[in-house]
Amino acid sequence: MIEISGLAKRFAVENPKKLSEQEKKDPRLKGRFFNSVRDVSFSCGKGEVLGLLGPNGAGKTTTLRILSTALKPDSGSVSIDGEDVLANPLIARKKIGFLSSSTGLYGRLSGRENIAYFGELHGIDKKVIAERIDEMADLLDMHSFLDRRAENFSSGMKQKTSIARAVIHEPALVVLDEPTTGLDIMATGTVMEFIQRLKDKGTPVIFSTHHLDEVQLLCDRVTVINQGKTVFNDTLSNFGALSDGQMHQSFLKTLSMDTGDADNVVNL
Ligand SMILES: Nc1ncnc2c1ncn2[C@@H]1O[C@H](COP(=O)(O)OP(=O)(O)OP(=O)(O)O)[C@@H](O)[C@H]1O
């Protein structure tokens, strides 16, 4: 079980002229600081898949980077199975598999070598690494490119290799930042099946997405972030019930419920 409570993270604005027009009008901009995440809370239990939704710039990536310990929050708490992630980042890194949208592969290494390298960093036996890579190559349909150098991989090949790399140590929790962005329909289906398999094995999965069909297919829980705050945090069925099962309408409804203070979280 992972529990996130009251996360907040602000960034210093180095050059206000570089802010987008939308960011300049955003209530999160306070003087020289942009409060990207202001109050984010949710939890995800064993065998559950949680979909993290929100408009562009809502704070999803910032939140997921905090969970993965890549970023330190200014306030709030993150615990996995009762263990304080922020106080024990090394233990947390062992427990969490994180797919980031920004971490690249080593172009000179093959897909297999990229994944194996991470396995070795985690201290896993080489034989076990080889077995796990074979298993993941089956599941993610990677055999045709696994031994090619990663520098010329397509987006789909890169993403599958990055996902395999993120879970090589069989983490207790998997966090995926927009895992299907840029993938074709077949690769998207393969990644969705891979998440379903993690769920069947009891591994909690948190993933951010803009695709409501993926949420409907896979998620048990839905969290919506708007302007850095959790505005909805509940089951998929209660999310659907906000507007008779029309996911798109439910999403829009949660956004309109954000009145800008912390008391408007819809927790049905
Ligand atoms: N290091 C940083 N310095 C300054 N501002 C940042 C930094 N990282 C993120 N932000 C700002 O914080 C806000 C939230 O960004 P974040 O990437 O978390 O949003 P997101 O919900 O993942 O968006 P998207 O759906 O577009 O990926 C944005 O306005 C972004 O510009």
Nearest to 29 by CA among 225, 228, 226: 228
Instruction: Look at ligand 1, atom 3, and give the residue with the nearest C-alpha.
Output: 11
34 C-beta closer than 6 A to ligand 1: yes
Q: Which domains does the chain have, with CATH numbers?
A: 2-103+166-259 (3.40.50.300)
Distance (angstroms) between ligand 1 centre and the Cα of 52 equals 14
Distance (angstroms) between ligand 1 centre and the Cα of 133 equals 33
ipTM for the predicted complex: 0.96
Which residue, chain included where needed, has tokens 């905090």? Answer: 66
Confidence of residue 244 (pLDDT cuts 50, 70, 90): confident
**For 142-161, what is the mean pLDDT?**
94
What's the pLDDT score for residue 268? 41
DSSP 79: E
Other Cβ atoms closer than 10 A to 53:
26
Alpha carbon distance 156, 27 (integer Å): 37
**For 48-63, what is the mean pLDDT?**
96
Tens digits of residue pLDDT in 18-48: 888 888 888 899 888 999 999 999 999 999 9
Tens digits of residue pLDDT in 154-164: 999 999 999 99
| Mean pLDDT estimate for the chain | 91
Q: Are 29 and 58 in contact (CB under 8 A)?
A: no
Query: Could you tell me the two tokens for 194?
Result: 């891979």
Triad 214, 215, 221: Cα angle to 5°: 155
What's the pLDDT score for residue 259? 44
The pTM for the full model equals: 0.91
Ramachandran region of residue 162, left (φ > 0), alpha (ψ -120 to 50) or beta? alpha
